[in-house]
Amino acid sequence: MTTAADVTTREVLVLPRRSVIDEAWRAIGPGVEVLSGTDGAPLRRTIKRILDPLVLRLRANPQFSAPVVPAETGAAMRALILDVAPQLCWAASWFAILKLERRRLRITAGNAQELYFPVCFELAVTRGAPLPDDRETAETVLRGVHDDRDRTGVEVLNRYVDDTVVTQLSRQLEFSWRDVRSGSTIPGPFMSGLTTVLGDATSHNAEAARQRVWSALVADATPYNFGARARTDAELPWSIVDVGLSSVAPQPPPPVMSGADGAPPLNRSVVDRVRATLRRALDRDELPDIPMLCAEEVDRACAPWGLLAEDKQAALVAGIEVAVDLAPLSADSATRYDLSGDIQTRLRKEAYVLHARRYLVDGGPIHPRQRQVVDDLADFAKPYLRRLWARLHGRDVWQESCADVDDLRSLLEGVARSVNLDHRQRIKSMLELQEYEVAP
């Protein structure tokens, strides 16, 4: 007969996810050393690139992704890992061979673990253990990984930007920066139009009207003028420093080469912007070659808001208006737009936001790993606009339109959702690490 005590025991019998993975990994025994850390546990990249996507298959098995798992789930995870123990050992052997061949071919582009771990597991599953000194297969695999990446890869960029090129780009930047001047357009109509664009539409006619208004705002000179005025002492509706777009006001010209790590969007160097484009690109064959890409980026960096297209400039101004409305940690702050109000409501319902608000009200200590999340929530405009600018920059490079008002609204909501998911992941990682640290 099952007693209440038995039920309670089963309910509390949970295991830290990381300890389940570590215990199963150690049970494999020798053969996976190159995929392991000095303590014998799997490397973070082993978990990220092999175990989570290819063995545990988190997309198909979301129950395996929780920071702590019931004993039954932990047993299932252990069984899956041990079932592929031979393939994991073979993948480790393949990785050692690829690393040797990488050095022989003098390939330096990309992180070897990030690029090769999934490939090695695929080779282990499809080919089994590697043959000794199978350099031909290793070279073919490496060529397949790198040939499509390196024509416009970061390594090509690094080789291209020598002193002569930096001088040429600096001269181009100087002329392009001087070409941008603010006009005399009155901003009032644009700002009033945002009330419609960012407002609710309850009928087909209202939706059509909202699209017409957005089309007019895209053609308005106000976003361009705002971006040009950010470079002078002219007054703007918001501070570009307070919203996190620039480290200083007025906005200075961006450097060509030596940008600070983690610089705000408008202060990033031209080379850093190109590097970000290369890293984000899923299909680099669609990009121009590095010299053209750098020249285009100089013009883009000198354009108002660091964006060439008018619809991207208008979208950023709309995003700034949404961003300064958002205050997830405040229980009673009002928003000016329906869209930002909807985003705010969803953010405030998040469990980690409620938890952070209670901590701040009670005046209790905040765990150091939570501090960055709390700081982001307290100053939400900064992480929001960093992410929005990056997405608009990508659209500007790929010439993807923001002319559709529904697409714009989805973008503005999606950025908030992305920041929210990033916060959740940080909290999840913190809890997972805490559980692992206290595990017996």
Cα dihedral value 384, 390, 392, 393, nearest 10: 160
Give the 3-state DSSP-derived string for the chain, with helices as H, strands as E and coil as C: CCCHHHHHHHHHCEEEHHHHHHHHHHHHCCCCHHHECCCCCECHHHHHHHHHHHHCCCCCCHHHHCCEEEHHHHHHHHHHHHHCHHHHHHHHHHHHHHHHHHHHCCCCCCCHHHHHHHHHHHHHHHHCCCCCCCHHHHHHHHHHHHHHHHCCCHHHHHHHCCHHHHHHHHHHHHHHHHHCCCCCCCCHHHHHHHHHHCCCCCCHHHHHHHHHHHHHHHHCCHHHHHHHHCCCCCCCCCCCCCCCCCCCCCCCCCCCCCCCCCCCHHHCCHHHHHHHHHHHCCCHHHCCCHHHHHHHHHHHHHCHHHCCCHHHHHHHHHHHHHHCCCCCCCCCCCCCCHHHHHHHHHHHCCHHHHHHHHHHHHCCCCCHHHHHHHHHHHCCHHHHHHHHHHHHHHHHHHCCCCCCHHHHHHHHHHHHHHHHHHHHHHHHHHHHHHHHHHCC
pLDDT of residue 437: 47
Mean pLDDT on 382-406: 95
pLDDT of 258: 78
pLDDT at residue 65, rounded to an integer: 84
For residue 355, what pLDDT band results from cuts at 50, 70 and 90? confident
Instruction: Examine the pLDDT at 6 and tell me if it is beyond 70.
Output: no
Please, which pLDDT band fits residue 146 given cuts at 50, 70 and 90?
Answer: confident
Q: What is the mean predicted confidence (pLDDT) over 289-305?
A: 94
What is the residue extent of each domain of the chain? 1-150, 161-185+221-305, 319-438
Most confident of 42-46, 102-106, 143-147: 42-46
Tens digit of each residue's pLDDT (9 = 90 or more) over 108-138: 766 788 888 999 999 999 999 998 777 888 8
Does position 289 have pLDDT exceeding 80, yes or no? yes
Question: Token pair for residue 239?
Answer: 């501070």
Kindly give the pairing relationship between strand 14-16 and strand 68-70.
Answer: antiparallel
How confident is the model at residue 440, as a pLDDT? 46
Of 19-28, 280-289, 416-425, which range is least confident?
A: 280-289
Name the pLDDT band for 240 (thresholds 50, 70, 90): very high
Using pLDDT thresholds of 50, 70 and 90, give the confidence band for residue 8.
very low
Residue 44 has pLDDT above 80, yes or no: yes
Residue 370 has pLDDT above 90, yes or no: no
Mean pLDDT lowest for which of 259-268, 295-304, 332-341? 259-268
Q: Is the pLDDT of residue 10 over 70?
A: no
d(CA 263, CA 247): 8
pLDDT of residue 166: 95
pLDDT band at 364 (very low <50, low <70, confident <90, very high): low
Give yes or no for residue 259 having a pLDDT over 80: no
Condensed to tens digits (0 to 9), the pLDDT of residues 161-180 reads: 999 999 999 999 999 999 99
pLDDT at 434: 52
Paired strand residues for 14: 70
Q: Is the pLDDT of residue 11 over 50?
A: no
Calculate mean pLDDT across residues 248-258: 93
Q: Which residue has the higher pLDDT, 283 or 351?
A: 351
Q: What is the mean pLDDT of residues 357-371?
A: 65
pTM for this model (two decimals) = 0.68
Percent of the chain with pLDDT over 70: 87
Whole-number average pLDDT of the chain: 87
pLDDT class of 182 with cuts at 50, 70, 90: very high
Q: Band of the pLDDT at 3, cuts 50, 70, 90? A: very low
| C-alpha span between 230 and 237 (Å, rounded) | 10
Residue with the larger pLDDT of the pair 412 and 398: 412
* pLDDT higher at 29 or 12: 29
Question: What's the pLDDT tens digit per position in 421-436?
Answer: 888 777 776 665 554 4
